[in-house]
Amino acid sequence: MFDPKRWRRPVVYEDENGLRRKVSSTEQASDILTSSWPVNSGEEFLRAHAIFLEVMSGSRPVAEARAAFLRAAEEADLDISGN
């Protein structure tokens, strides 16, 4: 079954331990920001959480969640490749 919150293109990033991780949905991105993100503050971090909730409720397009995740990753100084 197709998940409407799934991103057309996954985001690949290198976490703080040097492991490459792939994120392919709004729900997965939200879980990562909540449980294993290297920072727990910042404007883009907080904005991403708000956008994820709106996307999951259907009030914003899925592409906005992916863009918010990329901005939060940049803010956290994570290596993002091919995005």
Structure-token match 């708000």, residue found? 50
In order along its 83 residues, the chain shows pLDDT tens digits of: 446 689 999 999 998 888 999 999 999 999 999 999 999 899 999 999 999 999 999 999 999 999 999 999 999 999 987 66
Structure-token match 């799934």, residue found? 6
Structure-token match 């503050």, residue found? 41
pLDDT at position 56 is: 93
Largest CA distance in the chain: 35
What is the spatial distance between Cα 66 and Cα 61, in angstroms, rounded to a whole number? 10
